[in-house]
């Protein structure tokens, strides 16, 4: 068992992960098009290649490399220790283009295009080198359901704080610093401050990170064999099919909220933040309740229940008419979201535990890396869904007032597409075999295996 300090310290790392991710996802394109004034098509192309395609490649690559690493400090910790300061440095450079304090005079400036493409690719590599090994430590360091649910609460609360810093505090810092440092200087200063916070969070995580020597026993699987074993694991395939639908439901809600607030309930865009804040607040408040549910039902059925409630609580989008009604709906959605975020990584951790019994190796990096790669596919689904819903409803960006069909289309799209995703979720999850009893039996076998490995290293009883 780990100390409370170690559990909380490890959980703090998720603050850095969420802060960096949400800040870049939300403000990067806006900064380079509106502030740097680089041609939007060039920004979009460079972003798609250097952040999108490259992101999909380096996630499984870093995961596999961390599984194969053998060092006196462990398999994961060296990546976090080296990657955290690099991530901080590159995050600052993302918001510090060499412009001399003035925006571009030539929107097609090739030097700035190269700078943007290279710096975002390097940042994503450093970020992945930290976050995939960091996440891979979770099932390795915390083995039973009681510990995993406790640590998951710390991780998710930290992630929500990081998300709030990235989404809400970033623009406040930019506004405050721009008055003194100029427009571009304000962005650079905000990047420096938030970069220190995010990098510091990873540093705190190292204080609570410990690796077990026996988990690195044995030669790593060859790359081709590692990929083959991962993709023929039926439990993993069932999980990623279900998890892709979870990511779709999350991303679909985020993508459509701006359209919903403006064209359905008719509130100011500034009030949109209330919707996300309400979701975060109830998510944090309901973690203790969902932990009790998880200990009683197991991770599999807790995840299924939480996803089903999330979709059910979204159905009022079909009839709510004002902001107070929408806030009530989103509070309920946030309560269900609490259960999803609590146990989703635990379900994948059970898959990794099962894999160790089959391969005699701990391969957290491979599984979390490949899962991150598959999650990127959701952006294709979101792009197609938004195009379908907005196109069929008659939405036209040039119109100040949209036709009534747009409101109906947004309501139906937000309400019914998640129902379809839920059906696919259950179709995939029905093949997932690791219920509560199976996990208990699996844990007993793993404990015997780990004692044997520890004895081989002369570590004694665990």
Tell me, yes or no, whether 261 and 178 share the same domain. no
Residue 214 CA: distances (Å) to CA of 6, 145, 211, 328, 396: 20, 21, 9, 49, 60
Alpha carbons 128 and 73: distance in angstroms, whole number: 19
Residue 381 has what pLDDT? Answer: 86
DSSP letter for each residue of 147-189: HHHHHHHHHHHHHHHHHHIIIIIHHHHHHHHHHHH-HHHHHHH
Residues 6+ positions from 428 with CB-CB distance below 8 Å:
238, 241, 242, 245
Nearest to 306 by CA among 337, 331, 285, 349: 337
In this structure, how many other beta carbons lie within 10 angstroms of the beta carbon of residue 89?
Answer: 15
Tell me, yes or no, whether 242 and 274 share the same domain. yes
Alpha carbons 407 and 414: distance in angstroms, whole number: 11
Tell me, yes or no, whether 288 and 144 share the same domain. no
Residue 79 CA: distances (Å) to CA of 22, 295, 355: 22, 33, 23
Alpha carbons 52 and 46: distance in angstroms, whole number: 9
Please state which of the ranges 132-136, 201-205, 254-258 shows the lowest mean pLDDT: 254-258
**End-of-domain residue from the set 159, 177, 209:** 209
Tell me, yes or no, whether 356 and 289 share the same domain. yes
Alpha carbons 245 and 391: distance in angstroms, whole number: 23
Tell me, yes or no, whether 124 and 239 share the same domain. no
pLDDT band at 271 (very low <50, low <70, confident <90, very high): low
Tell me, yes or no, whether 312 and 188 share the same domain. no
pLDDT tens track for 150-188: 999 999 999 989 988 887 788 889 888 988 888 889 999
Please indicate, yes or no, if residue 460 is contained in any of the structural domains. no
Tell me, yes or no, whether 283 and 135 share the same domain. no
- How many separate domains does the chain show? 2
Q: Answer for the pair 275, 330: CB distance below 8 angstroms, yes or no.
A: yes
Q: Answer for the pair 265, 399: CB distance below 8 angstroms, yes or no.
A: no
Tell me, yes or no, whether 19 and 136 share the same domain. yes
pLDDT band at 41 (very low <50, low <70, confident <90, very high): confident
Please state which of the ranges 317-326, 348-357, 372-381 shows the lowest mean pLDDT: 372-381
Please indicate, yes or no, if residue 327 is contained in any of the structural domains. yes
* pLDDT higher than threshold 90 for residue 106: no
**End-of-domain residue from the set 209, 228, 246:** 209
Sign, CA dihedral 130-136-139-142, equals negative
Secondary structure of 331-391 as H, E, C letters? HHHHHHHHHHHHHHHHHHHHHHHHHHHHHCCCCHHHHHHHHHHHHCCHHHHHHHHHHHHHH
**pLDDT: which is higher, 335 or 263:** 335
Query: What mean pLDDT do residues 48-55 have?
Result: 76
Q: Taking the mean position of all CA atoms in its chain, how far away is CA 272?
A: 21
Please indicate, yes or no, if residue 214 is contained in any of the structural domains. no
Classify the phi-psi angles of 429: left when phi > 0, otherwise alpha if psi is within -120 to 50, otherwise beta.
alpha
pLDDT tens track for 183-239: 889 999 999 999 999 999 999 999 988 877 666 655 566 667 766 778 788 999 999
Q: Answer for the pair 345, 135: CB distance below 8 angstroms, yes or no.
A: yes
Here the tokens at position 363 are: 């391969």
Query: What mean pLDDT do residues 3-32 have?
Result: 89
What is the reported pTM?
Answer: 0.83
Tell me, yes or no, whether 91 and 10 share the same domain. yes
In this structure, how many other beta carbons lie within 10 angstroms of the beta carbon of residue 199?
Answer: 22
Alpha carbons 64 and 78: distance in angstroms, whole number: 14
Mean pLDDT of the chain: 87
Q: Answer for the pair 159, 18: CB distance below 8 angstroms, yes or no.
A: yes
Residue 216 has what pLDDT? Answer: 60
Query: What mean pLDDT do residues 89-116 have?
Result: 89
Residue 158 has what pLDDT? Answer: 94
**pLDDT: which is higher, 335 or 386:** 335
Q: Which residue range(s) make up the domain with 72?
A: 1-209
Please indicate, yes or no, if residue 461 is contained in any of the structural domains. no
**End-of-domain residue from the set 184, 209, 234:** 209
pLDDT tens track for 82-97: 999 999 999 999 999 9
Q: Answer for the pair 101, 181: CB distance below 8 angstroms, yes or no.
A: no
Tell me, yes or no, whether 180 and 250 share the same domain. no
Tell me, yes or no, whether 156 and 275 share the same domain. no
- Fill in the DSSP letter of residue 102: S
Q: What is the CATH number of the domain that holds 94?
A: 1.20.1250.20
Tell me, yes or no, whether 268 and 372 share the same domain. yes
């Amino acid at each position: 068992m780990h100390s409370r300090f170690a559990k909380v310290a490890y959980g703090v790392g998720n603050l850095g992960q969420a802060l960096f991710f949400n800040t870049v996802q939300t403000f990067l394109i806006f900064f380079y098009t509106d502030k740097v004034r680089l041609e939007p098509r060039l920004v979009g192309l460079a972003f798609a290649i250097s952040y999108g395609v490259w992101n999909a490649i380096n996630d499984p690559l870093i995961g596999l490399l961390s599984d194969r690493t053998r060092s006196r400090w462990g398999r994961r910790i060296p990546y976090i220790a080296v990657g955290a300061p690099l991530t901080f440095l590159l995050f600052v450079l993302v918001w510090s283009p060499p412009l001399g304090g003035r925006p571009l005079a030539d929107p097609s400036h090739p030097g700035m295009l190269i700078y943007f493409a290279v710096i975002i690719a390097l940042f994503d590599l450093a970020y992945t080198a930290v976050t995939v090994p960091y996440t891979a430590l979770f099932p390795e360091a915390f083995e039973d359901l009681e510990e995993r649910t406790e640590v998951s609460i710390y991780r998710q609360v930290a992630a929500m704080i990081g998300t709030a810093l990235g989404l809400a505090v970033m623009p406040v810092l930019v506004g405050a610093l721009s008055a003194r440092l100029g427009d571009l200087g304000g962005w650079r200063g905000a990047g420096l401050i938030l970069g220190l916070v995010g990098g510091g969070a990873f540093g705190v995580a190292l204080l609570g990170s410990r690796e077990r020597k026996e988990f690195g026993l044995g030669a790593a699987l060859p790359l081709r064999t590692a990929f083959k074993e991962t993709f023929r694991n039926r439990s993993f395939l069932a999980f990623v099919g279900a998890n892709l639908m979870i990511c779709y439901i999350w991303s679909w809600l985020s993508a459509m909220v701006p359209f919903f607030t403006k064209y359905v309930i008719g509130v100011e865009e500034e009030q949109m933040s209330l919707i996300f804040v309400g979701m975060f607040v109830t998510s944090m408040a309901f973690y203790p309740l969902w932990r009790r549910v998880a200990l009683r039902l197991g991770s599999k059925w807790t995840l299924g229940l939480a996803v089903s409630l999330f979709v059910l609580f979204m159905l009022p989008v079909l009839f709510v008419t004002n902001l107070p009604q929408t806030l009530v709906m989103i509070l309920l959605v946030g309560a269900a979201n609490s259960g999803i975020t609590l146990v989703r990584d635990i379900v994948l951790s059970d898959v990794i535990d099962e894999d160790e019994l089959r391969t005699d190796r701990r391969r957290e990096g491979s599984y979390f890396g490949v899962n991150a790669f598959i999650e990127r596919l959701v952006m294709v689904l979101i792009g197609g869904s938004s195009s379908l819903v907005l196109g069929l409803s008659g939405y036209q960006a040039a119109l100040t007032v949209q036709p009534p069909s747009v409101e109906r289309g947004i309501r139906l799209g937000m309400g019914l597409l998640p129902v379809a995703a839920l059906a696919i979720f259950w179709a995939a999850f029905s093949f997932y075999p690791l219920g509560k009893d199976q996990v208990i039996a699996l844990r007993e076998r793993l404990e015997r295996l780990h004692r044997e490995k520890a004895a081989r290293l002369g570590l004694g009883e665990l």
